Amino acid sequence: ESLLRTLAGILHLGDVTFSATEDGSGVLDESESAHLAFRLLGLTLDGARAAMCRRKIKAGLETLCVPKSKEESVSSRDAVARVVYTKMFDWVIASANECLKVDSKRPAAGGEGGLFVGLLDIFGFEVMEENGFEQLCINYANEKLQLFFNDHMLENEQAAYQEEGVEWQYVEFTDNSSVIRLLEGRPVGLLPTLDDQCLFATATDESFLQVLSKAHGASEGITFPKLRRDAFVIGHSSGTVEYGVDGFLDKNKDLLFSDLTEAMAASTRPFIASLFEAASSNVTPTKGGGGAQQRSKSSQHVSVSAKFREQLGGLMKTLEGTDPLFVRCIKPNEDKAPALMNGPLVEHQLRCSGVLAAVKISQSGYPSRVPFTEFLPRYAPLSASPGVAGTERERCESLLKDLGVQEGMFQLGVTKVFLRAGVLSHMEQLLSDAVSDSAVSLQAAILRHLTPPLRLLRLSSRLLYARLSANLQKKRYLTLRQQSRACSSLTLLISSRLAA
């Protein structure tokens, strides 16, 4: 109930409006949405008005209340919505993890000795009519996952052939490592530059774009449109995307000033108040004075992009310790229409995502590779001459030829046997058949060995049964004969007495 009430409050908060006075100060409009939103969030109308339309500034020992502009008031409203939703989402995740937590005595999932099955599902590349900070973060995550795919399915696969000395024609693919460096590389990567600008009290979205243009004006992968002074264009692996810088700094800071934080912590809704118990780390004390390049005292605050990069780095570290399987979702058309295939669009997605290169490597590559030390003990019994002399490599080659594997279907590296698709399964089938044949032969030999004793045991049992049967019949005969004689004697005795 608390979650639903809070979600409803956030939704109604989006309908809260502000007006501007003659001097430009923001004024909260007392609408039905405002009353409903603040009641759901546990705030009084006066408290919300003071927090969203005024800002406390400390000047020495004095604290001044300065009115915010209409735009600043709207930004405060949006900041409250973002922070409340973020804290609520974190609470849901923490609560779910607590409920699903396994016994502490068992190894943790993903930890040392722990096993787990994970499913990662994220949005694909986003290209909207207007792209902002959110689209940049989503596309950055996609670039990192694309790099992981390239390394795992394309680069590492081909590097294994080169390391083992296998004859191989390198398959080219779209390398997006330069885009990753552009986004996260230090010291002038886009996201580190954004974080640096957020440390300056007087920095704006426009100044961020100017610093970015100065650092990357001649760089490949990023351009700055001449017809639009508030945007930059990045050449992603899936295509170019134009990003508008409006709101970049505020969204990256995602801070609540002290008056807003205090207002939320004083909410009459216990659930919302509990979300802001440890909100001191998100409080930004605004101080007066200082030069144009004065750094904010909230430099200890972790920006959204820094937190996002840290979490993404943890995700990639987890993925690197797994044996991944990939599922690619391809958009058939831009119109979301059924039974409509846009050939060039599909081909572009397949090429940019590395699927075509992966298929080519799979078709011309050697998916099965077995070290010599494992290959010989397992498959040597299939050879007509398993004890052939020579090096491990020579013995493996001799074994493959004995099994009739054609030369184009395998290659021998420095330490491994590389096999085309289907060869290993064929050898496993041969091994299974050989084991079955050996089992039948062994069973027949055992039966032959056990047959004479079994036959003698069977004959002895028959003789024993006959003897026992004869003895029983003899005893029965003697008993019946004795009884018959007794009956005859008794009959004679009775007859003689009756005659007398």
pLDDT tens-digit readout, 53-104 = 888 776 666 777 888 888 888 988 998 998 899 899 989 988 988 888 766 5
pLDDT given at position 113: 53
pLDDT given at position 288: 44
Strand order in the sheet with 54-59: 62-67, 54-59, 286-287
In a domain, 319, yes or no: yes
Same-domain pairing of 244 and 271: no
Same-domain pairing of 140 and 71: no
In a domain, 282, yes or no: no
Same-domain pairing of 32 and 140: no
Q: What does the block give as tokens for 311?
A: 């979490």
Looking up tokens 């004095």 gives 62
Residue ending a domain, choose from 333, 348, 365: 365
Distance CA 79, CA 61 (A): 28
pLDDT given at position 499: 79
Nearest CA to 20 among 55, 67, 65?
67
pLDDT given at position 294: 44
Distance CA 34, CA 493 (A): 131
In a domain, 419, yes or no: yes
The total of structural domains in the chain comes to 4
Same-domain pairing of 195 and 323: yes
Looking up tokens 């205090």 gives 262
* Number of other CB atoms surrounding residue 306 within 10 Å: 16
pLDDT band at 290 (very low <50, low <70, confident <90, very high): very low
In a domain, 33, yes or no: yes
In a domain, 291, yes or no: no
Contact 399, 380 (CB under 8 A): yes
Q: What CATH number corresponds to the domain at position 427?
A: 3.30.70.1590
* pTM passes above 0.75: no
Same-domain pairing of 174 and 163: yes
Same-domain pairing of 381 and 423: yes
Same-domain pairing of 79 and 50: yes
168-213 pLDDT, tens digit each = 989 889 899 999 999 999 989 999 999 999 999 889 999 999 999 9
Nearest CA to 81 among 303, 205, 250?
250
Same-domain pairing of 346 and 385: no
* Number of other CB atoms surrounding residue 361 within 10 Å: 21
Looking up tokens 């290959």 gives 375
Element (H, E) at 64: strand 62-67
Distance CA 376, CA 266 (A): 73
Distance CA 348, CA 296 (A): 45
Q: What CATH number corresponds to the domain at position 93?
A: 1.20.120.720
Same-domain pairing of 240 and 139: yes
* 420: Cβ contacts below 8 Å, ≥ 6 apart: 366, 367, 368, 408, 409, 410
The alpha carbon dihedral of 18, 22, 25, 27 has a sign of: negative
* Angle at the Cα of 263 from the Cα atoms of 257 and 265, rounded to 5 degrees: 100
User: What integer is the mean pLDDT of 452-477?
Assistant: 83
Nearest CA to 423 among 359, 370, 357?
370
Nearest CA to 249 among 215, 204, 287?
204
Q: What CATH number corresponds to the domain at position 314?
A: 1.20.58.530
Q: Which residue did the predictor score with more confidence, 279 or 421? A: 421
Same-domain pairing of 330 and 425: no
Highest mean pLDDT: which range of 99-108, 135-144, 280-289, 381-390:
135-144
Q: Is 500 helix (H, G, I), strand (E, B) or coil?
A: coil
Give 243's strand partners: 131, 232
pLDDT given at position 59: 65
The alpha carbon dihedral of 157, 162, 166, 168 has a sign of: positive
In a domain, 447, yes or no: no
Distances, alpha carbon 111 to alpha carbons 95, 115, 326, in Å: 21, 8, 23
Q: What does the block give as tokens for 100?
A: 């699903």
Q: What does the block give as tokens for 84?
A: 């409340």
Distances, alpha carbon 271 to alpha carbons 3, 35, 51, 92, 390, in Å: 8, 19, 20, 12, 75
262, burial (CB in 10 Å: exposed 0-12, middle 13-18, buried 19+):
middle
Q: What does the block give as tokens for 115?
A: 């096993």
296, burial (CB in 10 Å: exposed 0-12, middle 13-18, buried 19+):
buried
Domain span at residue 460 reads 455-487
Contact 366, 411 (CB under 8 A): yes
* 427: Cβ contacts below 8 Å, ≥ 6 apart: 379, 382, 403, 405
In a domain, 298, yes or no: no
Same-domain pairing of 138 and 241: yes
Same-domain pairing of 194 and 315: yes
pLDDT given at position 210: 94
In a domain, 329, yes or no: yes
User: What integer is the mean pLDDT of 294-323?
Assistant: 80
442, burial (CB in 10 Å: exposed 0-12, middle 13-18, buried 19+):
exposed
Distance CA 78, CA 253 (A): 13
